Amino acid sequence: MERAKILIIDDDPVCTGVLLAILGDDYQITTANSGSGGIDILSSLTPDLIFLDITMPEVNGYQVLKYLKGDLSRSQIPVVVISTLVETSDRDFALKLGANDYINKPIMPDVIQNVVEQYL
């Protein structure tokens, strides 16, 4: 059976490393360290789930969300935002743009496992 594909778009190598440690044994993981890099990867990969940071230089997570939700072939991919932004307005804006869930950093392994089980 083919493993589910997860795309991690985050410019923080620590966050990416933690997600890889939690998920790498069970899922096919692809990473991008920028919003534009994530968009580039999406031209050739259709993941089953995306973890997306908001605060990245140049192309931020909100812009990636707008791109994803504006692309009919990718608009149904579940997107889970993982961010240091803790204001309700940040969460509400991400959800309004089409994020399926919003998790605050630091990453808790049990929360990640529960989210993955929910969307996959």
> What domains lie within the chain, and their CATH numbers?
5-119 (3.40.50.2300)
pLDDT higher than 90, residue 53: yes
pTM across the whole model: 0.95
Share of the chain above pLDDT 90, in %: 91
CB atoms within 10 A of CB 4: 16
Give the model's pLDDT for residue 1.
Answer: 67
pLDDT higher than 90, residue 118: yes
DSSP state, 59?
Answer: S
CB 20 within 8 A of CB 29: yes
Give the model's pLDDT for residue 88.
Answer: 92
Angle made by CA atoms 12, 87, 81, in degrees to the nearest 5:
45
